Amino acid sequence: MRIARFVQDSDPAFGVVDGDEGQEEIAVIKGDPFFSGVQLTGERHKLEDVRLLAPIIPRSKVVGIGKNYADHAAEMGGEVPPAPLMFLKPNTSVIGPNDPIVLPAFSDEVSYEAELAVVIGRICKDVPLDRVDEVVFGYTCANDLTARDAQRTDGQWARAKGFDTSCPLGPWIETDLDTDDVAVRGYLNGELVQDGNTSAMIWGVKELVSYVSQAFTLLPGDVILTGTPAGVGLISDGERYEVSIEGIGRLSNTARS
């Protein structure tokens, strides 16, 4: 099931996206599916007639995972960490499909990172591996934008990873996805620059959710970014980056100064 957040004429609403590509419709959901479940109102719209928003604005946090692909760790000049390397992005970093990436004035080196994102569906803590599926609401595409110069100089990553618009999410949440073998690709101005697969992740989704939940109480709508494959590079004013994840869809955003 693909659950999107959108706006047409009034306040944001949630809906279920169905139909073949190019002919999708969105069936409106009553209330918030994270708390009320999926209750259809009977109202429907053509997908092309609505504006998609970020499928979720996390209520508390986005947890990022660094260097979770060996090829990316190598291209960044480092070794694979001995345990998942965590950092936080504020919810003010989140934007949706086609929203502009606003390049921060403090950086001259902002790079893209295509990633699979896990969306948490219920409050949880210290989740064992065999119960991770019970706390996951679904999955979406993410771009973990990073100010590389600030990352090098600051000593910690709050500014480099957390600036406004640094976390595009979308286009919707796919609630049914086998994450063991999923293609994760990124396109800069239409050119393939990242071509990875979740099968190459050092720690899989279950391990990451369980590990993160040992440090943080996870709330409905929290997001975990699972790391990026090799091929990261810089994005400049006017350039467009598209994240494509098999079984989910495509997320596209253009950078501006």
DSSP assignment of 46-61: EGGGSEEE-S---SS-
Residues in a beta bridge with 244: 185, 250
DSSP 136-163: EEEEEEEE--EEHHHHHHHSSSHHHHHS
Single pTM value for the model:
0.96
Residue environment code for 123-153, b if the CB has 16+ CB neighbours within 10 A, otherwise e: ebeebeeeebeebbbbbbbbbbbbbbebbee
Cα–Cα distances (Å) from 78 to 81, 109, 152, 156, 208, in that order, read 9, 19, 13, 16, 20
Mean pLDDT to the nearest integer, 225-234: 97
| pLDDT, tens only, 111-136 | 999 999 999 999 999 999 999 999 99
Is the confidence at residue 211, as pLDDT, over 90? yes
Report the Cα 160 to chain-centroid distance in Å.
17
Q: What pLDDT is recorded for position 114?
A: 98
Q: What pLDDT is recorded for position 22?
A: 84
Q: What pLDDT is recorded for position 21?
A: 84
